[in-house]
Structure 1
Amino acid sequence: MELPARVLVVDDELIVCQSCARILAEDGHQVAAAQTGEEALQKVQEDLFDVVLLDLRLPGCGGLRLLRALREASPQTEVIVLTGYPTLESAKEAIRLGALEYVTKPVRPEILRTVVAQIVACKCWRLQEGR
C-alpha cells in the first residue's frame, strides 16, 4: 500500500483547488492549496511536499516560471502541470523544466487519482531502492 502524499494544489481558481483537494483527501493524501505563485513558493519553502499540481495560467508569474522556481526550491518535489489551454510548446517546455505529467483541465477525478498514485508509488520505490 502506498503512503499518503503531501500534495500542494496551485491554481488561481478556488473551485479547482477545492475540487482537487477533496478528491485527493478522499484517497488519504494531505492537501494544501495556493492561489498565487508567491503563496506556492512560500508554502514549498516552509513545508515538504511530495507532489505539486500546478496550473500553467497564473496571474502575476506564469506557471512555467513558477515551475522552474519550484524545482529549484524543492528538487525532490514532483510536479504535475494542469492546464485548460494545452499546447505542444507548453507541454514540451513543462517536461523540459522537470514536470512529470501534463494534464488537461477539466481533469476527471479518476485521472487525477491515478496520476498522483503513480507518482507516489514511484517515489516510494525510489526511497526503498535508496535512489
Structure 2
Amino acid sequence: QQVQKEASNVWRGVEKVLFGNGKQLHFKKNRDFTTISGKTNTNGAKFDKETLTVNWLGLSMLCKLPKREKDRQYIEASLSSDISYCQIHRKMFSTGWRYYVILVLSGDAPKKLQHIGDSTMGIDPGTSTIAGVS
C-alpha cells in the first residue's frame, strides 16, 4: 500500500509539471532512505545463509550474530527455513549509522527453548487473578 501511495504521489507530481501549474519535481535524497528491500531473496538485497552476508548492488556486508548463546541458537534455528525477502534498515545513533538486516522467513517460527527446573510451584486461583509462586 505504501509503495502504491508513493507511486501515485510521484505520478501526481509529474502530471502537475506537464499539464498544470507545477514548477518542478522534488525527489527524495539518498540520505532520506532508511530501508532498502527486495520483493524476493533473488533480487535487490539478498541474504546468503552460508556466509551470513547481505549482497546489494555489488556491496557485500557481513552480519554479526548476538553474543548471548540463547539468542544465537534461536537465530540459527530460524535460518533453517526459507527466506522470503530481506531488508537493510539503518538507524542513526550518537556514534553514527548502524545497519540491521530484517529477514522475512516463510513457515512457522521455531519454538523457544525454556528451561524447566525441578522445583515445586504453587498456584492460587482467585476470583479475578491467578498467583503463582515457585
TM-score band by shorter chain is under 0.3
- Greater RCO (CA < 8 Å, at least 6 residues apart): 1
More strand by share: 2
Bigger fraction of residues in helix: 1
User: TM-score, normalised to structure 1's length?
Assistant: 0.23
